[in-house]
Amino acid sequence: MDAEQLTVTTDDGTRIAVTRRNSAGAPSSARAVVFLHAGVADRRAWTGVMDALRDDGLDLVAYDRRGYGDTAAAADPASFTHVSDLVAVLDELGLDRVLLVGNSMGGALALDTALLHPGRVGAALVIGSAVSGMTDDDTPFDWQLDPATAPLLQRAEDAAAPVDDRIAALAHLWLDGPAAPEGRVAGAPRELFVSMNRRILEVAAADGAGDAGVDAWTRLGEITVPVLCSWGDLDVPADVPFYVETARRLGQEPARVLAGVAHLPGLEKPGVVAQLVRDQLG
């Protein structure tokens, strides 16, 4: 069936925008997959992956966190947690145990939820994942920017710069990959990236809003649900050692390195991510 556009209202009255697609012929007991977007995206970034899975008999859900897409930012950044919002979405949609698929900050949310509500998480797939509490203080490596990434990050974070310039830097950094040619990813994916990030910069939600206060970085070994880690080989070089270390601390199956993609594989090559979802469900 076609995707449904829904709204889940939280206890404080916030209206969370949700897209839900029950695949053709899927029973009400279909396995559920909930997609959690990156900090440079919104729920629309998962449209291609959901399309690729439309005939797999799955219940597919993506939603906008507060301050992204069609969900308003919180007036008080400390008044909620993204974990509690995720649980509210699961409860409203009648979803018990789900596969969480998280990209970047969405991956951090998936890992936090696996620690705080393991009964609601059947498994997780994290892609280029952040981790709450992540630091290089307890690692043998340091986070050091390479010559390609540093100027792009500076341009992207310059609040005084024109919005179009900031978005161009963000697209080169996260969509193309900092060491790849600018414009490597073109057409509809790039247009969607621009649209999503124009909205993000317009809303300008506070950094750290919705933090659940979980030091997941030191607790990854406590996660017992199956977690598959993956990342693109064109992602920011300084971040890759952290992805490797995340997989090591989880101590589960080997990570998957995705060839020829950067930080947003679901936007760039949705079929590749759809296959990872199938693998993790299998």
Taking the chain (282 residues) in runs of 10, the rounded mean pLDDT of each run is 90 96 66 97 98 96 98 93 98 96 98 98 98 97 96 97 98 98 98 98 94 97 97 98 98 95 98 98 90
Closest listed residue to residue 94, CA positions, set 63, 120, 64: 120
Is residue 228 packed enough to be buried (19+ CB in 10 Å), middle (13-18) or exposed (0-12)? buried
DSSP character for 25?
T
pLDDT of residue 2: 78
Q: Are 101 and 277 in contact (CB under 8 A)?
A: yes
pLDDT of residue 29: 58
* Helical packing angle, 82-93 and 105-116, nearest 10°: 70
Q: Which helix (H) or strand (E) holds 242?
A: helix 240-250
Residue range 4-136+208-281 in CATH 3.40.50.1820: yes
Q: Are 267 and 189 in contact (CB under 8 A)?
A: yes
Residue corresponding to tokens 């995707």: 3
pLDDT of residue 26: 60
Distance CA 65, CA 86 (A): 9
pTM above 0.95, yes or no: yes
Closest listed residue to residue 44, CA positions, set 14, 72, 69, 71: 69
DSSP character for 220?
G
pLDDT of residue 1: 56
Angstrom CA distances, 215 to 96, 190, 265, stand at 25, 34, 26
Q: Are 58 and 98 in contact (CB under 8 A)?
A: no
